[in-house]
Structure 1
Amino acid sequence: MGNSASRSDFEWVYTDQPHTQRRKEILAKYPAIKALMRPDPRLKWAVLALVLMQLLACWLVRRLAWRWLLFWAYAFGGCVNHSLTLAIHDISHNAAFGTGCAARNRWLAVFANLPVGVPYAASFKKYHVDHHRYLGGDGLDVDVPTRLEGWFFCTPARKLLWLVLQPFFYSLRPLCVHPKAVTRMEVLNTLVQLAADVAIFALWGLKPMVYLLASSLLGLGLHPISGHFVAEHYMFLKGHETYSYYGPLNWITFNVGYHVEHHDFPSIPGYSLPLVRKMAPEYYDHLPQHHSWVKVLWDFVFEDSLGPYARVKRVYRLAKDGL
């Protein structure tokens, strides 16, 4: 989808994000879509199943050879842990229990976080709201790479390394771009996670902990599912800053591929996003879309026009009293 010119800066625009206006138009034309803005009762059971699956895997890998442990961490654990991070994404929008039960959503996210090995659910929610409210916002949207990333990771080899190191960039970038005070929920998230890690180590030893951490690092790094990180907002076509993917990997990623629909209606759980497209097809079917997350990663590495700089950025003028 890209062109041949290499980039030396972000794509700066001076218009509002497109999702706000499209949401208004769709709701005016199809008010029945509001009925989809309700919790997904399946979400908590899916999370429970995935967490139990990883606990069983911890027991199974405790006597595996290291090479097989790492193989299964990539092939199986990486898929499960990546799926759990996307469950946490859905839960951050209160999709499990609704906005009236915010505490239940927060604690379910902490529970879903357990197999990931490191605490991040509470921090993710704190920053993800800005990604929706200030899409591409300079100094506000921490999903956008830093200038250092854009400048350095500009060759195929370096872009490949950048993809491998994605978990580290997503973890550290908020501290550089838009640091926020530590919240009580982040402290609790950390304490619960540490307690779970210690318990797993005490019960089954080192290998299960290595398996869980490797599942997260490998599954969120250079992995087919990680194509969604690049597919969602990197500018494969000029003038388009959000893209959807409607392929089969949505089945194990809580429909995160329906990303244009998600930004239009962040209060609709992933399970119901296909219905948004079905109810208002004229707003989505004509938009550019991705057909393979693996091809997205390939194109990102080898096309000169793509890289960390291939993002739309805009300046939001905020009130002096903050967000």
Structure 2
Amino acid sequence: MGNSASRSDFEWVYTDQPHTQRRKEILAKYPAIKALMRPDPRLKWAVLALVLVQLLACWLVRALAWRWLLFWAYAFGGCMNHSLTLAIHDISHNAAFGTGCAARNRWLAVFANLPVGVPYAASFKKYHVDHHRYLGGDGLDVDVPTRLEGWFFCTPARKLLWLVLQPFFYSLRPLCVHPKAVTRMEVLNTLVQLAADVAIFALWGLKPMVYLLASSFLGLGLHPISGHFVAEHYMFLKGHETYSYYGPLNWITFNAGYHVEHHDFPSIPGYSLPLVRKIAPEYYDHLPQHHSWVKVLWDFVFEDSLGPYARVKRVYRLAKDGL
């Protein structure tokens, strides 16, 4: 997919995002899909299990040699922590307890954040709503790289470095593109995270903390699961800005690969997204899709047509005017 010419700008479009219209058509044809818009009771137990596994890992790595600690942080901890960030993504849509229990969802996200090592769950929720509402919005959707990223990370070596540094770009980009006031929940998220980090350090020493932080940095950087960052919205085929992946890594990522379905129905938990495709296959089966997140990363690095600039952007004038 893609063309051979390198990019010097984003793909600017002057149409609405496709998900709104498709959602209306599918609901009109298949109103039964509304029954899937309910909390997923499994989610809180999955989060509990992942957090406990990472705490057990902290205890196990106390006396591990540094080289093996980093190996397990990438091979195992990276999968666990990346999975937790995708659980937090689902929770940001109130998937654990429903919209009527927003506080429970927020605190579950803070709990899921603990093995990540740095506080981010509350900030993620604050910005993620804009990603759905203003997909590709200039100055609004912080999922889209900056012009500086697009200009500089344009060669295979630089794009590889960009993938390695993904956690930093996702953390810092909102402060540059669309800064927002710090919320009370972000302060609480930070205090809880710092208390947990201090407790782990006091109980078991430095290596468990290095393990958790390395799990996050390595697992969200150049890692097979991180292929979803690129697979979801980078324009591998002109005219298509959202892509799904239906492969086996969905089993450990809360069906994050079902991304077209997720943007069509963000209130449906990841567990139920395969049912959306099953109910309305004619809306999804013909769309371009990815079959391997590893191949996505490979193509992103080595194809000239791909890079941080390979994103659809649009202007939401009313939103920027605050109307």
Flag whether TM exceeds 0.5 (same fold).
yes
Alignment of 1:17-96 (within 5 A): 17-96=17-96
> SS where residue 150 of structure 1 aligns?
helix
Shift of 1:3: 1.2
Cα 1:73–1:130 shift into 2, 3 Å:
same
Query: Partners in 2 of 1:191 and 1:95 — Cα distance?
Result: 24
Match of 1:285 in 2: 285
Residues 253-279 of structure 1: CA deviation (Å, up to 9, x unaligned)? 000000000000000000000000000
Residues 222-249 of structure 1: CA deviation (Å, up to 9, x unaligned)? 0000000000000000000000000000
Query: Partners in 2 of 1:18 and 1:321 — Cα distance?
Result: 23
Shift of 1:174: 0.0
> SS where residue 154 of structure 1 aligns?
coil
For structure 2, the residue ranges without an aligned partner over 5 or more in a row are none
Shift of 1:321: 6.5
Query: Partners in 1 of 2:45 and 2:107 — Cα distance?
Result: 14
Is residue 307 from structure 1 mapped to residue 312 from structure 2 by the alignment? no
Query: Partners in 2 of 1:210 and 1:278 — Cα distance?
Result: 43
> SS where residue 185 of structure 2 aligns?
helix
Shift of 1:318: 2.1
Match of 2:178 in 1: 178
Residues 36-60 of structure 1: CA deviation (Å, up to 9, x unaligned)? 0000000000000000000000000
Query: Partners in 2 of 1:209 and 1:94 — Cα distance?
Result: 29
Cα 1:158–1:25 shift into 2, 3 Å:
same
Residues 119-167 of structure 1: CA deviation (Å, up to 9, x unaligned)? 0000000000000000000000000000000000000000000000000
Shift of 1:319: 5.4
Cα 1:319–1:124 shift into 2, 3 Å:
closer
Residues 164-218 of structure 1: CA deviation (Å, up to 9, x unaligned)? 0000000000000000000000000000000000000000000000000000000
Query: Partners in 2 of 1:218 and 1:208 — Cα distance?
Result: 15
Is residue 6 from structure 1 mapped to residue 13 from structure 2 by the alignment? no
Query: Partners in 2 of 1:311 and 1:191 — Cα distance?
Result: 36
Query: Partners in 2 of 1:168 and 1:319 — Cα distance?
Result: 27
Give the TM-score normalised by the residue count of structure 1.
0.99
Shift of 1:2: 1.6
Query: Partners in 2 of 1:251 and 1:174 — Cα distance?
Result: 29
Count the aligned residue pairs: 323
> SS where residue 59 of structure 1 aligns?
helix
Shift of 1:320: 7.1
> SS where residue 179 of structure 1 aligns?
coil
For structure 1, the residue ranges without an aligned partner over 5 or more in a row are none
Shift of 1:322: 2.5
Residues 261-299 of structure 1: CA deviation (Å, up to 9, x unaligned)? 000000000000000000000000000000000000000
Shift of 1:317: 1.3
Fraction of identical pairs, as percent: 98
Match of 1:219 in 2: 219
Cα 1:304–1:181 shift into 2, 3 Å:
same
Query: Partners in 2 of 1:72 and 1:259 — Cα distance?
Result: 29
